[in-house]
Structure 1
Amino acid sequence: MRTTTRHAAAGTPSTLRTEQAEAEPTTQGAAEPRPATSARSALARGLRALPGPLLGLIVVVIALSILSPYFLTWHNVMNIVTQNADLGIMAVGAALVILIGGIDLSVGSNLAVSLMVNAWLYHMVGLPFWLCILAGLAVGAGVGLANGILSTYGRIQPFVATLATMSAAAGLALYITNGNPINDFPDWFLAITSARVLGIPLEAVIMVAIFLVAAFWLRFRPTGRALYAIGGNAEVARLSGLNVTRIKIGVYVIAGLLAAVAGMIVGSRLDSAQPTAGTADLLNVIAVVVIGGASLSGGSGGMLNTFIGLLIIGVLNNGMDLLNVSPNLQPVVIGIAIIVAVLTDRASRSRQGA
């Protein structure tokens, strides 16, 4: 009995070691797929970290590249950029206004009236064209100044104030020439939309330069950073020492000036000043900013996402033209894109916050 007991007791550790040795390969084999799982998790985290508008742009580009062989070509990409250069320039000003918690409904009418004043002074008054351009830019800045004064000193809601200036500017653009277009501009002015820099259209270079300057101002300059503070809480910004009224007026002036610059682009492209030019662009301008992730309540937004929003609108319009989608359905698609982009961006921000 004692011998048997000793043998059984001595065999127990050996048995345990054998069982452990047999179990070890099974454990190691189960751990082998972990690198692939980690890679998939890292990819998922990377996709979640991307802004919602960028994800939307990637999906749209891939879909249209499959549906149309003419979409993803250099010539077509340049068409998308140049055809939306004026829209992008106006969107920069609109994004700045929305960033401080305001809104500018007069950008399209401002484009029209500044361009008509420019053409009228050149053809009817006979002023040098460079002076007419300065006058047109001054008109655009003046409309922006009126918007800023009405919404600050006048204490009128920005929606109402800019709605009034939109109506006034549209009527003035029609009154100047009784609704007739004005054609024939100098060749050097037409070169703005026909010349190329390293193969890239000059108007695209101008638009990108404006985006870069605005992005630098918002990111690195104190007055640019102040826009986020004002949009977040104007009263707190005022108590912190910021001259909220002056900054707001300045932002509206910049938006008006950029609308006038967009008018010069349109006039150069068409070799014509149309009194209704730009009046149909208001929806697209607001759509670009909203799709770019800017909050209409202010304090949120940026130039990179606004540029992505511009590309989404441009790509959608261009792709629908290539696919022969009815023009009557295109606004429906843009409306759906606005809703999807806002919901996607909101979900992306929620995941990042979590």
Structure 2
Amino acid sequence: MSDVAKKKRDFSYYWDKYSTISILLLLLVVFSIIEPTAFMSSNNLIKIVEQSAITILIGCGEFFAILLAGIDLSVGSVMALTGVCTAKLMAAGINPWLAVLLGTLLLGAAIGFINGFLVNTTGLHPFIITIGTLSIFRGITMIVANSRTVSGVPPEFTRFVGGKLWGVLPMPIVISLCMAGLLFFITMKTQFGRNLFAIGGNPQSAWYAGINVKRHILLAFIISGICAGLAGLVNVARLGAAEPNAGTGYETFAIAAAVIGGTSFFGGIGFIPKVVIGGLIIGVINNGLNMAGVSSFYQQICMGALIIIAVTLDRYFGASSKVGIK
């Protein structure tokens, strides 16, 4: 083996195992140098994790779409629509937890079902379907909310979901980590999860092996819809109201969290804990750049560049390069 090939092999191994955590640690070091006192304070670090909760949730949902070599661009609109509907139900006097069941979980699952159904029945790439539903769901959100902020959310709901567990752990963190833990179990310990990896790696071979590909695609998008719904719920609890413009552009955060977390755009490769770290990386970047006084426009540039770099490195050095993808 030549020295060049050996170096590439060594870097590929390192990239697969430690790339995500290395990026996070590097960013922490950089921002702690730029803002040594404020950035590394315990209050700010907790704030970063709390602010990352929404990104972690939508990133975990996006993980399932990308794992199948697809994508879900509608997550930001789903987040807004479920948030508005849940807040509307609460404002109408419905029990908050019934409102969560109907407006967050069931509506999120129904929207995911619509995305998956359209992908299966049309045969179009999920990019085309979800860029269309992104616009449709955003329009429905504006109609339902009458283009206005929906208030009237019960204070006890915001205190609980937006508050702290035992007065220590912010509930958004608890919700996002519990959901991530559940999805980690599903992907690693169930037949359904193993089938998803097989479909993402080679859908035709999976079909020949007797796996119902369309059913798994449908369920993957349902999971994505539920995750986006939970993100909308957390956002409503933190703000105490539902904004119809909430989640605009958050599909970029979801994709970035997934691909920076090592999920391959070529399908069949990914790991939920790394997506969680990817979500934290997004939170660190946003928080650190805000502290440094960097314009949000430059933050968008940074996010887009990170996606391109992560996918490029995965293409040439990640696990995708070892399974014959050219």
What TM-score, normalized to structure 1?
0.82
Q: Over aligned residues, Cα RMSD in angstroms?
A: 2.3
Structure 2 partner of 1:28: none
Match of 2:30 among 35, 50, 63: 63
1:1-354 equivalences under 5 Å are: 50-69=17-36, 70-123=38-91, 125-137=92-104, 138-190=106-158, 191-197=160-166, 199-345=168-314, 348-349=317-318
Q: Distance in 2 between matches of 1:119 and 1:230?
A: 37
Change (3 A) 1:245 1:45: closer
> For the Cα contact (< 8 Å) 2:265–2:311, is it kept in 1?
no
- SS of 1:181's equivalent? coil
> For the Cα contact (< 8 Å) 1:51–1:345, is it kept in 2?
no
Q: Distance in 2 between matches of 1:100 and 1:48?
A: 22
Q: Distance in 2 between matches of 1:291 and 1:178?
A: 37
Query: Percent identity among equivalent residues?
Result: 33
> For the Cα contact (< 8 Å) 1:143–1:165, is it kept in 2?
no
Moved more, 330-339 or 174-183: 330-339
Q: Distance in 2 between matches of 1:289 and 1:333?
A: 16
Q: Distance in 2 between matches of 1:244 and 1:101?
A: 13
> For the Cα contact (< 8 Å) 2:15–2:317, is it kept in 1?
yes
User: For residues 267-317 of structure 1, what are the alpha-carbon distances to aligned partners after superposition, in whole Å with 9 as ceiling and x for unaligned?
Assistant: 000001111111221111111112112122211111122122112111111
> For the Cα contact (< 8 Å) 2:89–2:103, is it kept in 1?
no
Q: Distance in 1 between matches of 2:114 and 2:12?
A: 47
> For the Cα contact (< 8 Å) 1:145–1:252, is it kept in 2?
yes
Structure 2 partner of 1:33: none
> For the Cα contact (< 8 Å) 1:52–1:345, is it kept in 2?
no
Amino acid across the alignment from 2:26: V
Q: Distance in 1 between matches of 2:11 and 2:79?
A: 44
> Cα distance, 1:198 vs. partner?
6.5
> Cα distance, 1:56 vs. partner?
1.6
> Cα distance, 1:47 vs. partner?
5.7
> Cα distance, 1:346 vs. partner?
5.0
Moved more, 332-341 or 57-66: 332-341
Amino acid across the alignment from 2:99: C
Q: Which runs of 4+ in 1 moved over 4 A?
A: 43-49, 343-348
What are structure 2's unaligned runs of at least 5 residues? 1-9
Q: Distance in 1 between matches of 2:102 and 2:12?
A: 52
> For the Cα contact (< 8 Å) 1:53–1:341, is it kept in 2?
no
Matched residue count: 310
> Cα distance, 1:265 vs. partner?
0.4
Amino acid across the alignment from 2:100: I
Change (3 A) 1:345 1:61: farther
Amino acid across the alignment from 2:186: W
Change (3 A) 1:44 1:233: closer
User: For residues 1-50 of structure 1, what are the alpha-carbon distances to aligned partners after superposition, in whole Å with 9 as ceiling and x for unaligned?
Assistant: xxxxxxxxxxxxxxxxxxxxxxxxxxxxxxxxxxxxxxxxxx99996674
> Cα distance, 1:111 vs. partner?
0.9
> Cα distance, 1:132 vs. partner?
1.9
Q: Distance in 2 between matches of 1:109 and 1:237?
A: 32
What TM-score, normalized to structure 2?
0.88
> For the Cα contact (< 8 Å) 1:56–1:341, is it kept in 2?
no
